[in-house]
Amino acid sequence: MDYKYIEQLLESYFSCTTTLQEEQILRSFFSQEDVPGHLVQYADLFNYEAEAKEATLGEDFDERLMARIEATESKDQQVEKARVIKMATPHFAPFFKAAAVVAMALTVGRAAEHAIGEQEAEENSNIVAVDPYIKTGDVQQAIRVKDVSQAEMKATNDSIISISTDDEIQ
């Protein structure tokens, strides 16, 4: 039987020009029972490569690790705890979250509407304040009264400021 292909692959392997697939072919070839005598010395190498991948950690390791993860989690805040619960029910999490997002969007929307509504109401209130004069139709008078009242307000403010500055001087 001709083993030229395998011999070539071996040479390529030792010069690091084999692909991952070709290396797998070598492992498969050497895993068979009757490897030819002149290649048998390499059987151990490729069999070891295959069997070394079977070393794994058992479930006892998982338990110890999860205990440690939970211990570090419980040290964290309430928010972090919520995350642990989320992890336990991964299938429902998106639905709860979607509901929360919709609720949040609605709340924000309502709040925004409310704020805009209040602003408009405030704008209207200036007119409401001078209502009696508007009723009589004397808009000029209404404006004058508003100006007067603003002037009075300014005067009062100024006096307060002057009093406070007097206090500071004393």
- Which positions lie near another protein, rule CB under 8 A? 13-16, 20, 23-24, 41-42, 44-45, 47-49, 51-53, 55-57, 61-62, 64-65, 68-69, 72, 87, 90, 93-94, 97-98, 101-102, 104-106, 108-109, 112-113, 116
Using alpha carbons, select from 111, 130, 109 the residue that is nearest to residue 119. 111
Distance CA 20, CA 27 (A): 11
Taking the least distance from each CB to another protein, the nearer of 87 and 163 is: 87
Least Cβ distance, residue 17 to another protein (angstroms): 9
Taking the least distance from each CB to another protein, the nearer of 73 and 158 is: 73
Asked if 73 and 81 count as a contact pair (C-beta separation under 8 A), the reply is: yes
Least Cβ distance, residue 105 to another protein (angstroms): 3
**Amino acid at residue number 108:** V
Q: Which long-range contacts (CB under 8 A, 24 or more apart) does 39-43 make?
A: 39/3, 39/6, 39/7, 39/10, 42/10
Taking the least distance from each CB to another protein, the nearer of 110 and 144 is: 110
Least Cβ distance, residue 91 to another protein (angstroms): 12
Coarse DSSP helix, strand, coil percentages of the chain, rounded to the nearest 5 percent: 80, 0, 20
Taking the least distance from each CB to another protein, the nearer of 63 and 158 is: 63
Least Cβ distance, residue 147 to another protein (angstroms): 32
